[in-house]
Amino acid sequence: MTVWFGNVHGGGLVPDDEARIAVRTAGVAYGLGCFETMRVEAGRVFLLDWHLKRLRAACERLGLDAPTPGLVEAGISALVVAVGLAGVGRLRLSVAAGVDGDTTMWATLDPLDDAPDGVRLVTVPWRRNADSPLAGVKALAYAETLLAHRAAQRAGGTDALLCNTDGLVAECATANVVVVLDGVACTPRVSDGALPGIGRRFLLADTAAGVLERGVPETRLAEAGEVFVVSALRGVRPVVGLDDRALPVGPITAVARRRWQERAADSSWWS
């Protein structure tokens, strides 16, 4: 397997076992870093500019030097060619604190595994802290989210639904969530602990999708007429079960999904 490995000044393709990070760095010891996961298809990356903008914002929050877009694009292009992946892939770009204040960066590309279309969400007991300095950052310190996801899977779900310490819905472990209340598609605010997801931003920018940014009280989940999730990797996917309750795939979900598919079919959104 091949990895693109380097720092904000440059890098190159190396075998997996040659991509090494010093164990005493804050990136390894404390998980000080961030990452992006992107959809790759036919050698092109979906919404790459949006991903890079979010990466730069996360690096600024963490006090890390951000790689230049040109360097990232060159590294991704080299990796895509080297791997020669057929079909759809998941590209992960990671940035971490390195040696002597430098920033280490690496990218991997793997096939995107198939997943059931209908999502089943399980509400987990742990709470997102919307006031955390990591709120809104796709951080390498991912253990909390990983444990929530695994707990939901053990309970028979596809993904975990997380609420915050104020009793508001925040997000899922691997996607943003949209809850339809009183006929309005509401996605939690970033200030409620939601990641500023690329798929979420995509829907909010498309007025025809009808998604609004609003606080969603946990106590109102039982009133939801429809629920769906969205991520840059998998697009819009309907939620067919929330805890012990079955949910329909309703018309608002169908519109959001169609809008996503129409825009994703436009080559101008791919780099």
Which domains occur in the chain, in start order? 2-111 (3.30.470.10), 119-267 (3.20.10.10)
Quote the CA–CA distance of 236 and 238 in Å, as a whole number. Answer: 7
Confidence of residue 117 (pLDDT cuts 50, 70, 90): confident
Looking at residue 78, what is its pLDDT? 95
pLDDT at 127 over 90: yes
Edge to edge, what strands does the sheet with 88-97 contain?
10-15, 2-7, 103-111, 88-97, 33-41, 44-45
The pTM of the full predicted model, rounded to 2 decimals, is 0.95
Looking at residue 86, what is its pLDDT? 86
